[in-house]
Amino acid sequence: MVHIKRLQEDGADILAVVGEIDASSSIELDLAIAKSVGEGSTKILVDCSALEYISSAGLGVFMSYIEEFRDKNIRMVLFGMKEKVANTFQILGLADLLHISSNKLEAKKLLNELSV
Amino acid sequence: MKTKALIRLTFLAAIVTWLVMLFSDVTVLFSDLKGLTPDVPVWLPKVMLDLYVISVFYYYKFKIERDESLNFTDLLWRVFATGLVATVLSLSLRVLDFLLGSTKLSSNIFFIDVEYLVNLGLLLSFLIAAGTCWKRLILYQKSKWLIRGWLVFEMLLLIVLLSDSLQIIFKEWLFTSISILTGLLSLVLSANMKWVAYLNFKQKWTSLLLLLLSFFYLGYFLFTVIHFSDEIKLQSMAFLDFQNHVFNIYLFSFVMLYSIFSFLVILFNLPTSSVFEQKLEEVVNFQRISQSVQTEQSEESVYKILLESSVSSVFADAAWLEIKGEQQQSRLQTYQITESDAHKIQEHLNGRHVKGILDQSSDKTKNLSNHLATLKGTRFRSLMAFPVQVKGEKIGTLALLKELPEGFNKEMTQIVSAFANQAGISIENFRLLKEAIQNERYKEELKIAKMVQKSLLPDKLENDNDFEISAFSESADEVGGDYYDTLRINDHQVGLIIADVSGKGTTAAFHMSQMKGIFHSLAQEALEPKVFMMRANQALKYCLERGSFISATYFVVDSKEKMIYYSRAGHCPVLIYRAASRKADYLIDKGAALGMVKGKDYCNFVETNTLPYASGDIMVLFTDGITEAKGPRGEEFGLDLLKKTITEVVIRGPKEIQEHLIKKLYEYTGTEEIDDDYTILIVKFR
């Protein structure tokens, strides 16, 4: 089960993901990101500090946006991952494809750097 | 066929006995008038009459009693038709009589006797036909006692019949008691009128008419037969006088009695017949609703039947059925009311904040008639609303309208409630059935996918003088996409792959087969592992849908150079045990899964790694099902425990190492039932 909260800070959309993302709940993640993009956000922060587990389907959601974001000039930074979750990203090679920071402050900094 | 033959036989017997009776009676009469001794015994006509009665009795028994296709009005029609034929025959005889005028022949006593016997035969056959029909009507709803009663009655009639002809003179008291018993039995039997209730209004009128005509026939024949017999009596007493024949009188009385009873009961039942018809229709409607599932109709037809049945059961002037659709929008089915009028009434009630089921909030039947009085421009004065529920959840509202004020009574409410409930059950059954079929299809699909998956895994793995491989793969109920395979490239190189397709089910099995195709075509070309991955990524680019990918590790084991070349594309890290240092470690390297990067720059995300091997080294390949296997408290098996488990048994052969690991894994999860795919490959170098 997953719960996704959305709030805005300094012109960036923050999606706080709480719980576990498996095959069924990955749809919610997809919808949340799609909604954020649909409303015109170009800066998206994903707060993973309360994300306990992510399955390959969940990783697939992040993966599926990589090219779209590059084309539309949308920047997304993930931050606050637990070690186990970070490992999953690492093993799959997604860590090199996505922007991942350790905390929110750094994430914002990275987001601004990318925007320049 | 047998019955048909019996019918013919009994008919023939009746004709023959009647003819014998006719000739013997005329002979006896002739002898009596001439004062001669008759050539035939005096008792012959009477015995023949008995035989005639018995023949006719069996004729009708086979013809009417055994015919299951006859309904109540058909039976009455049979009686009427028999009477009609008999009467027409008798009347034509009269016409002949009339045409002859007052010739000598017409006043001849023998001619009169013949006429008399013809009429008597016809009367008896009519009476017996009627009696047989009455028997079926009386025994319509049989009980043990009723059948016994009827048997006794038939026996008594037989005794009377035989005693008549055999000239057995009963003692006075015996005769009286038989008469009383027969009379009582006829009365008791005649009280069995249950069939009348099953006639509808039209059938009742038909029955009354048929019975009335039967009375006429009975009267006519009684008159004719008495007339003739009286005429003969003036000259001689030596003929077959039916008035001395007690059986005839009993039978006549019984037929008459039951006819009168039936007539009266039907007459008095006429006013209530519509109620009974109504109840019967309700039962039929119930059946229609509940059987709509079996007859493969749709939910729509259930709604239609519900609306129709409810309207006809309570004589509503108009009605509508509002069903909430899947997307919360509602649909109206209406009867004798336009949708806009229905909405007007709904809005009116909502506007007055009437808490009722029309605003979809209550689940109780409500009489909302009071509130209609304030709505102008509507002809309706009574309104009743019923909820339609499926599994306790309200899916719709049935509203019935009448132009009369106070138009609904308690019985109507009950019956419509029952209809609504039954409709709810039917809808629920529909949905369950649909789900069951859907589930069955999924199961079937999974079975196929699982079969495909199993067939994609190799039966035999490539072995070499330098190494030995043991593999284990088990999938959960759901089909996963774990894949492994080996291929000999040349005499010193063997290609080896382990892969995991994201997602489950048919698509996973499908992608797995694509991976197998790619492996078998690319591995033959002796490509460098990085190039292998790049080309595989290129090939899969257009096959994988958005968000799905394949993680894989491809190895080339070179026995000449004692080297392993490999490239990891997002798959679980390789665990390698070094016999020299007696240490096991996971290989850290980079590599993105296949399908993650669609562009040419995928080459930046994969690399070829080289790894020397020595005798006693062990390489462990696995999928994430192993490390993510959960213990009873939810903790994962993990990389560390995997490493520890392998190090425990490094001196053993690959097969034993694999078995040890699987054993430990099952011990850890505490169950033999797995919820993911487990795949392990152990490569041990010699």
B448-495: per-residue pLDDT in tens?
878 877 888 998 998 888 999 999 988 876 667 889 999 999 999 999
What pLDDT was estimated at residue B448? 81
Cβ atoms within 10 Å of B436's Cβ, excluding its own? 10
How far B615 CA lies from chain A's nearest CA (Å)? 28
What pLDDT was estimated at residue B356? 54
Backbone angles phi, psi at A61, to 5 degrees: -65, -50
Question: Could you give the percent of chain A with pLDDT greater than 90?
Answer: 37
What pLDDT was estimated at residue B531? 94
Torsion angle (degrees, nearest 10) of CA A59, A64, A66, A68: -160
Average the pLDDT over B531-553 and give the result: 90
Q: B327: pLDDT confidence band, cut at 50, 70 and 90?
A: low
Do B110 and B215 contact (CB within 8 A), yes or no?
A: no
What tokens does B624 get? 């994430």
* Sign of CA pseudo-dihedral B302, B304, B308, B313: positive
Q: How far is CA B170 from CA B43, B162, B176, B179, B600, in A?
A: 18, 12, 9, 12, 123
Do A96 and B590 contact (CB within 8 A), yes or no?
A: yes
How far B423 CA lies from chain A's nearest CA (Å)? 34
Q: Measured between beta carbons, which residues in chain A are less than 8 angstroms from residue B569?
A: 93
What tokens does B124 get? 């008896």
Check pLDDT > 60 for residue B360: no
Q: B539: pLDDT confidence band, cut at 50, 70 and 90?
A: very high
- Nearest CB among B548, B593, B598 relative to A93 is that of B593
What pLDDT was estimated at residue B477? 63
- Nearest CB among B500, B503, B591 relative to A93 is that of B591
The beta strand positions in B342-492, using DSSP E, are 366-367, 382-390, 393-402, 467-474, 482-490
In angstroms, the CA B45 to CA B19 distance is: 10
What pLDDT was estimated at residue B656? 93
Torsion angle (degrees, nearest 10) of CA B579, B580, B586, B587: -120
How far B574 CA lies from chain A's nearest CA (Å)? 11
ipTM above 0.90 for this complex: no
Helix and strand numbers, DSSP H then E, in chain A:
4, 5
In angstroms, the CA B116 to CA B402 distance is: 65
Q: B357: pLDDT confidence band, cut at 50, 70 and 90?
A: low
Q: Bridge partners of B485?
A: B497
B496 domain-assigned: yes
Average the pLDDT over B140-164 and give the result: 88
For residue B78, give its domain range: 2-275
Do A57 and A26 contact (CB within 8 A), yes or no?
A: yes
B451 domain-assigned: no
Closest CA to B624 of B546, B550, B583, B677: B677
Average the pLDDT over B504-517 and give the result: 84
pLDDT tens digits, one per residue of B621-666? 999 889 888 888 888 898 999 999 999 999 999 999 999 999 999 9
Q: Measured between beta carbons, which residues in chain A are less than 8 angstroms from residue B570?
A: 91-94
B449 domain-assigned: no
- Nearest CB among A64, A96, A97 relative to B547 is that of A64
Average the pLDDT over B400-405 and give the result: 86
Do B657 and B598 contact (CB within 8 A), yes or no?
A: no
- Nearest CB among B546, B570, B599 relative to A93 is that of B570
Q: Report the number of distinct structural domains present in chain B.
A: 3
Q: Do B572 and A91 touch (CB under 8 A)?
A: yes
Q: Measured between beta carbons, which residues in chain B are less than 8 angstroms from residue A60?
A: 502-503, 547-549
Question: Could you give the percent of chain B with pLDDT greater than 70?
Answer: 95
Q: B367: pLDDT confidence band, cut at 50, 70 and 90?
A: confident
Q: Measured between beta carbons, which residues in chain A are less than 8 angstroms from residue B504?
A: 23
Q: B594: pLDDT confidence band, cut at 50, 70 and 90?
A: very high
What pLDDT was estimated at residue B381? 83
Q: Measured between beta carbons, which residues in chain B are less than 8 angstroms from residue A93?
A: 569-570, 590-593, 596, 605
Where is pLDDT greater, at B232 or A19? A19
Check pLDDT > 80 for residue A81: yes
Q: How far is CA A61 from CA A37, B22, B24, B236, B524, in A?
A: 14, 107, 111, 119, 34
- A84-93, B399-408, B502-511: the lowest-pLDDT one: B502-511
Check pLDDT > 90 for residue B586: yes
Residues B18 and B126 in one domain: yes
Q: B227: pLDDT confidence band, cut at 50, 70 and 90?
A: confident
In angstroms, the CA B247 to CA B249 distance is: 5
What pLDDT was estimated at residue B254? 92
Check pLDDT > 80 for residue B39: no
- Residue at a domain's end among B223, B241, B275: B275
Instruction: State chain B's mean pLDDT as an integer.
Output: 86
* Sign of CA pseudo-dihedral B205, B211, B213, B219: negative
What pLDDT was estimated at residue B26? 86
Residues B56 and B100 in one domain: yes
Residues B225 and B299 in one domain: no
Q: How far is CA B417 from CA B277, B314, B595, B676, in A?
A: 20, 11, 59, 49
Average the pLDDT over B9-32 and give the result: 89
Average the pLDDT over B180-185 and give the result: 90
What pLDDT was estimated at residue B359? 47
Instruction: State chain A's mean pLDDT as an integer.
Output: 89
Q: Which residue has the tokens 């005639």?
A: B52
* Sign of CA pseudo-dihedral A89, A90, A92, A93: positive
What tokens does B557 get? 């084991």
Give helix B201-233 / helix B72-100 axis angle, nearest 10°. Answer: 30
Average the pLDDT over B233-249 and give the result: 78
In angstroms, the CA B146 to CA B359 distance is: 57
Residues B240 and B376 in one domain: no
Check pLDDT > 80 for residue B104: no
B441 domain-assigned: no
Average the pLDDT over A49-72 and give the result: 89
The domain A2-115 is classified under which CATH number: 3.30.70.960, 3.40.50.720, 3.30.750.24, 3.40.50.300? 3.30.750.24
Mutate which of B482, B512, B549, B624 to disrupt the A interface (most A C-beta within 10 Å)?
A: B549
What tokens does B509 get? 């099995």
Q: How far is CA B140 from CA B130, B134, B189, B197, B550, in A?
A: 15, 10, 12, 12, 77
Torsion angle (degrees, nearest 10) of CA B509, B514, B517, B523: -110
- Nearest CB among A60, A67, A91 relative to B549 is that of A60
How far A48 CA lies from chain B's nearest CA (Å)? 19
Classified as helix, coil or strand, A80 is coil
What pLDDT was estimated at residue B129? 92
Q: Do A93 and B599 touch (CB under 8 A)?
A: no
CATH number, domain of B367, equals 3.30.450.40
Length of chain A: 116
Q: Measured between beta carbons, which residues in chain A are less than 8 angstroms from residue B596?
A: 63, 66, 92-94, 97
How far A61 CA lies from chain B's nearest CA (Å)? 5
Residues B247 and B382 in one domain: no
Q: Domain map of chain A by residue range? A: 2-115
Check pLDDT > 70 for residue B293: no
Question: Could you give the percent of chain B with pLDDT greater than 90?
Answer: 34
- B80-89, B162-171, B201-210, B305-314: the lowest-pLDDT one: B162-171
Residues B342 and B409 in one domain: yes
- DSSP assigned state of B359: G
Number of A–B residue contacts, CB under 8 Å: 60
B83 domain-assigned: yes
Average the pLDDT over B122-143 and give the result: 89
Where is pLDDT greater, at A16 or B349? A16
- Nearest CB among A30, A57, A92 relative to B593 is that of A92
Burial code (b: 16+ CB inside 10 Å, e: under 16) for B616-640 equals ebbbbbbbbbbbbbeeeeeebbbbe
Spatial strand order in the sheet of B575-578: B467-474, B678-685, B618-622, B575-578, B583-586
Check pLDDT > 60 for residue B119: yes
pLDDT tens digits, one per residue of B57-102? 999 988 887 777 778 888 888 889 999 999 999 999 889 888 887 6
Closest CA to B513 of B608, B448, B572, B469: B448
- A96-100, B305-309, B647-651: the lowest-pLDDT one: B305-309
